[in-house]
Amino acid sequence: MYDYESLLNEIMRQRPDITKEELLNMVTQKKSTVGAGYLTDQGALFIIANELGVNLQRARHAELNLKDIQIGLRNVTIKTRILGAYPIKTYTRKDGTKGRYLRFVVFDGERVLNAVAWDDSLNSFSEQQIAVGQTVRIVNCSVRQGIDGNPEISVGAKGKIEILLENEPSLENYECQEFVEGRRLVYLKGQALTDPKTSSFMRMGEQHLVIQFRARLDNGRECRIVLWDPVEQPAIAKGSRFQMFNLRVKKGLNGELEVHGDGATKLTVSKAESSPVRVIKVIARKGTFALVCDREKRIIPVLLSPKTEQIIRNNEIVDIVPEKQTPKYVVCTQESSVRPCPTTFPTKEELFVKLADAMRRGFRSMFEVIALSHPMRKNVKTKEGTMVALAELLVGDDSEETKLSAWGETSRMLEGISPGERLMVVGAYPVTTKIGDSLLQLDNYCVIEKLHY
């Protein structure tokens, strides 16, 4: 391990034309140029060495802090902590072969930076070890400019990530007290003031999800929280206590500061309490799901297991305690998460909503409508040049007229429907198109049935 004096000596050994006094002056000038508080003396030496063409290969194991990191560093070792990680993805090299990479976020209490580990470097650890709060040593990495203009740590084939077993301060010590636009946040906790609203949109031929809700943070601030393409989210509802890791402060369209997260954001909530629901329909869609409805007339898709399938029956009332929640459905695969509930509950007919209410509510609903047109089906060309089927059907009741929209394989749900037919729609949710039109979206967790009176 090379310390500050060893680095000085290594530079002077390779550049005997520079005296120690001159080198110390360079350190002072470099720290002044970069800005107070951004560099240690050791960090400044690494940058100076690169500028002087000095090879610090022999000193590559000297540990730097994130405070020392600047664009252009090579063959350095950094000790830091994991703040969040995205799923491992693949890419295609120029020669047609496949490679892998992992994007993750690191912090040290003062600074937050993005990092990428490539190909063989992923073999030095397991994906499960890259957990929030874990201390790591990133060996033989380089620092380049990220797409946001900030330094980004890159771990190539010769690098590795070592998992360290060290006692570090709790992440709760880094709870944000001051909101500034653009600031990276390590930790927040608070209480949800509203139920989450889930919406989706198409980009680059893929469907993306957005989950948002209002919350009162423990620092006293009330704000909107927006999660973009979350990989997996625990069940959260109005009144839930939560804590979150790896976020960013952004300004919303109305000028209000908001908290935004993404696929590397971790959200945990207090243990869910049981909630009575009525089972509307059990369906098989890449697994067995139950579409259930709570007292607030919200349709909730529930993923079942062979064990919990035995408990669920159409039109029965059950208590559910979700084990976790994805952006599309909740998971109840343990016997303890679903149980019969002998209680009074609204009838199925009492759980229907009017079309106007379904349009303004931020979640899935169940309603009866009349088809006002034949399905309109077309193929839409994505930016990648592929074609995706889109079907739309105009429907209405005595409160509203709107379109039901379905993409891809889901578009088959609308086949064979004629004007004047009565329909029961379960699980559709409101979305707003790019041109500002509001409609109701169908997906794999929806059901349409023709009604015959």
CB of 351 closer than 8 Å to CB of 278: yes
Write down the pLDDT at residue 36.
52
Q: What is the pLDDT of residues 135-181, one digit of tens each?
A: 999 998 999 999 888 899 999 988 999 988 877 888 878 887 778 89
Q: How far apart are CA 17 and CA 8, in angstroms?
A: 13
Dihedral pair phi/psi, residue 48, rounded to 5°: -60, -40
Write down the pLDDT at residue 364.
93
Q: How far apart are CA 412 and CA 158, in angstroms?
A: 50
Write down the pLDDT at residue 221.
84
CB of 30 closer than 8 Å to CB of 50: no
Dihedral pair phi/psi, residue 24, rounded to 5°: -65, -35
Q: How far apart are CA 162 and CA 199, in angstroms?
A: 39
Residue identified by tokens 């976790």 is: 324
Least confident span in 5-14, 52-61, 142-151, 211-220 = 52-61
Give Cα 412 distance to the centre of its chain. 30
- Angle of helix 20-34 relative to helix 41-52, nearest 10 degrees? 110
More confident call, 351 vs 436: 351
> Residue 64: which residues within 8 A CB-CB, separation 6 or more?
42, 43, 46, 73, 76, 77, 78, 79
Residue identified by tokens 């050994």 is: 13
CB of 393 closer than 8 Å to CB of 420: no
Segment 72-90 shows an average pLDDT of: 90
Q: With 80 as the cut, is the pLDDT of residue 118 above it?
A: yes
Write down the pLDDT at residue 60.
46
CB of 298 closer than 8 Å to CB of 365: yes
Write down the pLDDT at residue 343.
82
When the candidates are 3.30.1320.10, 2.40.50.140, 3.30.420.40, 1.25.40.10, the CATH number that belongs to 172-262 is 2.40.50.140
- Return the number of other C-beta atoms located less than 10 Å from residue 151's C-beta: 20
Whole-angstrom distance between the N-terminal and C-terminal Cα of the chain? 82
- Return the number of other C-beta atoms located less than 10 Å from residue 398's C-beta: 8
Q: With 70 as the cut, is the pLDDT of residue 453 above it?
A: no
Q: With 70 as the cut, is the pLDDT of residue 234 above it?
A: no
| Arithmetic mean of pLDDT over the chain | 87
Write down the pLDDT at residue 208.
84
Q: How far apart are CA 428 and CA 346, in angstroms?
A: 20
User: What residue spans in the chain does CATH classification 2.40.50.140 cover?
Assistant: 64-168, 172-262, 352-451
Write down the pLDDT at residue 83.
93
Dihedral pair phi/psi, residue 132, rounded to 5°: -60, 130
Assessment of whether the complete model's pTM goes beyond 0.75: no
For the chain, how are helix, strand and coil distributed in percent, rounded to 5? 20, 45, 40
Write down the pLDDT at residue 103.
94
More confident call, 53 vs 434: 53
Q: With 70 as the cut, is the pLDDT of residue 321 above it?
A: yes
Write down the pLDDT at residue 434.
75
Q: Please, which pLDDT band fits residue 262 given cuts at 50, 70 and 90?
A: very high
> In the CATH hierarchy, which top-level class contains the domain 352-451?
mainly beta
Write down the pLDDT at residue 37.
57
Identify the bridge partners of residue 127 per DSSP, sorted by sequence position.
none
**Overall fold of domain 64-168:** OB fold (Dihydrolipoamide Acetyltransferase, E2P) (2.40.50)
Least confident span in 28-32, 58-62, 172-176, 215-219 = 58-62
Dihedral pair phi/psi, residue 57, rounded to 5°: -55, -40
Q: With 60 as the cut, is the pLDDT of residue 245 above it?
A: yes
Segment 332-347 shows an average pLDDT of: 88
User: Six-digit token pair at 177?
Assistant: 């007290």
**Overall fold of domain 275-340:** OB fold (Dihydrolipoamide Acetyltransferase, E2P) (2.40.50)
- Return the number of other C-beta atoms located less than 10 Å from residue 254's C-beta: 7
Q: With 50 as the cut, is the pLDDT of residue 51 above it?
A: yes
Write down the pLDDT at residue 218.
81
- Return the number of other C-beta atoms located less than 10 Å from residue 34's C-beta: 14
Write down the pLDDT at residue 369.
94
Q: What is the pLDDT of residues 403-452, one digit of tens each?
A: 999 999 999 999 999 999 999 999 999 988 777 788 999 999 999 999 98
> Residue 37: which residues within 8 A CB-CB, separation 6 or more?
67
